Amino acid sequence: MPELVFFSGTMDCGKSTLALQIEHNRSARGLQGMIFTRDDRAGQGKLSSRLGLVTEAVEAGPGMDLYGHLVDQMSKGGKVDYVIVDEAQFLAPEQIDQLARVVDDLELDVFAFGITTDFRTKLFPGSQRLIELADRVETLQVEAMCWCGARATHNARTVGGEMVVEGEQVVVGDVNRPAGEVGYEVLCRRHHRKRMTSAAARAAALSPDVLPVTPA
């Protein structure tokens, strides 16, 4: 039976790499997939991984009817055997409903990839709807690591290396951005709560443990 599967995890845990692997494996068997993405780090209409792999995709912009797009392609003779959706957290809840309809009415497997929570630890609306509707939710087994070596469970937004907790939910960026730019870092819960990024940890390590005392 066709399924709607949501592969979730933090940033930097290999979601896009797995999406590309699924595409490779199925296309090698002669199957034809439709790939959707939204706000990929490589630009519009791209599905890319941090390993340097990239392929063409359809940009699923706001208001786009994903079910209607697939029906239109298939009615024109296009072959579609499965659907891959990367950065699914950025989709609107109604677009997730459309993906569920693709599974139920068109009988196609849909593999959606995304992070569940934003830099404030709040669920993305698209991810929440996927959790509500998906036949399966799979947590990726490749664990991203916090700077301290613990398992990273939270996504942090940084500006100049400092963690910020206010702002728009969606601001496109990536890990390992230069200082001064909007970037992201994965942290364990303890250091996310303390707003302790790797840059903040280095600064703290360079600070003296005890302030010098000047004799009276």
Category of 77 on φ-ψ map: left (φ > 0), alpha (ψ -120 to 50) or beta: left
Answer whether residue 128 shows pLDDT above 50: yes
Mean pLDDT over 81-86 rounds to 96
What pLDDT sits at residue 211? 47
Please state at what angle helix 93-106 crosses helix 125-133, rounded to 10 degrees: 30
In the 8-state DSSP scheme, what is residue 128? H
Alpha-carbon distance of 33 to 26, in angstroms, equals 8
Answer whether residue 13 shows pLDDT above 80: no
CB 10 within 8 A of CB 155: yes
Alpha-carbon distance of 104 to 91, in angstroms, equals 19
Task: Give the chain's mean pLDDT.
Answer: 85
Q: Of 87, 143, 168, 181, which is the active-site residue?
A: 87
* Per-residue pLDDT band at 114 (split at 50, 70, 90): very high
CB 84 within 8 A of CB 37: no
Question: Over the range 87-97, which residues count as b (16 or more CB within 10 Å of their CB) and which as e?
Answer: bbbbbbbebbb
Question: Which two structure tokens, joined as six digits, stand for 50?
Answer: 């941090």
Answer whether residue 153 shows pLDDT above 90: no
Alpha-carbon distance of 65 to 7, in angstroms, equals 22
Question: Over the range 161-199, which residues count as b (16 or more CB within 10 Å of their CB) and which as e?
Answer: bebeeeeeeeeebeeeeeeeeebbbbbbeebbeeebbbb
What pLDDT sits at residue 125? 95
What pLDDT sits at residue 180? 58
Answer whether residue 82 shows pLDDT above 90: yes
* Lowest mean pLDDT segment, chosen from 39-53, 58-72, 188-202: 39-53
For 72, counting Cβ atoms within 10 Å of its Cβ (0-12 exposed, 13-18 middle, 19+ buried), the class is exposed
Answer whether residue 213 shows pLDDT above 60: no
Mean pLDDT over 126-146 rounds to 90
Answer whether residue 124 shows pLDDT above 50: yes
For 39, counting Cβ atoms within 10 Å of its Cβ (0-12 exposed, 13-18 middle, 19+ buried), the class is middle
Has 185 been annotated as catalytic? Answer: no
